[in-house]
Amino acid sequence: MRCVRVGGTVVAVAMLEPLAPEVGYVYYLLVLRDHRRRGLARRLLREALERFGRSGRSVVYAATESDNVPMIALLVSEGFRPVERRETGYRDGGLGAWGLRSRMRLVHGERLYGRRVDAPPEPGAARG
């Protein structure tokens, strides 16, 4: 778990989990309402990508509700893309998460996103 504190109060949290030697998972990312739009979620997400990369993870997944527009925009701006259900597996060059989904904390209505740690965000993607 990683967090951001302001005046001793935790205002943002990211929960991370290694799923396999080459796979990391950001399974929870929350910023308190009064502290949103200050770059805290981006900061935690980038830190997660760096930590997973340093520990040898080459693929990172994150999930969010399909109607959470701000989180989807953040993930896309940081190089994540939606993972298709029948996509080639992460070991074969795709982002398919076969064999890992049962260990992810996905709930009904969430969509899985993924990216390769060494892959930069798409050209022209917003950087903050």
pLDDT digits (tens, 9 = 90+) for 34-81: 999 999 999 999 999 999 999 999 999 999 999 999 999 999 999 999
pLDDT exceeds cutoff 70 at 121 = no
Pairing label, strands 59-65, 23-31: parallel
Mean pLDDT, residues 103-117 taken together: 87
Per the CB < 8 A criterion, the answer to whether 45 and 78 are in contact is yes
Report the C-alpha gap between 45 and 14 in whole angstroms.
Answer: 8
Partners of residue 28 on adjacent β-strands: 15
pLDDT of the residue at 118: 79
What is the predicted pLDDT for the residue at 124? 52
Burial 51-67 (b: 16+ CB within 10 A, else e): bbeeeebbbbbbbbeee
Q: What confidence score (pLDDT) does residue 96 get?
A: 86
Predicted pLDDT at 98: 77
Q: Where are the domains of the chain?
A: 2-116
Of the chain, the end-to-end C-alpha distance in Å amounts to 23
For residue 26, is pLDDT > 70? yes
The CATH fold of domain 2-116 = Aminopeptidase (3.40.630)
31 forms bridges with which residues in the sheet?
12
Is the per-residue pLDDT at 120 higher than 60?
A: no
Summarize the confidence of residues 90-112 as an average pLDDT.
83
pTM of the model: 0.85
